[in-house]
Amino acid sequence: MVNICRILKSRFLVLETPASLNFSSQKIESIGDFFRSINPKGIRMVWEVRRPSGEHIPPDLATTMQDYNIVHCADLSKEDPTVDSDTVYTRVFGKGEHNLHQFTDEEIMDRDKKITSRNPSGLSK
pLDDT of residue 11: 93
Alpha-helical runs (H) found in 38-88: 59-67
CATH code for the domain defined by 2-118: 3.20.20.410
CB 12 within 8 A of CB 5: yes
pLDDT of residue 123: 47
pTM: 0.77
Question: Digits of tens for pLDDT over the chain (125 positions)?
Answer: 888 999 999 999 999 999 999 999 999 999 999 999 988 888 999 999 998 878 889 999 999 999 999 999 988 877 888 998 888 888 776 565 666 667 788 888 887 887 777 655 544 44
Strands 44-49 and 71-72: parallel
User: Got the DSSP string for 12-29?
Assistant: EEEEEE-TT----HHHHH
pLDDT of residue 70: 95
CB 2 within 8 A of CB 43: yes
What b-and-e string marks burial along 77-90, b requiring 16 or more CB atoms within 10 Å of the CB?
beeebbbebebbbb
pLDDT of residue 108: 82
Burial of 118 (0-12, 13-18, 19+ CB in 10 A): middle
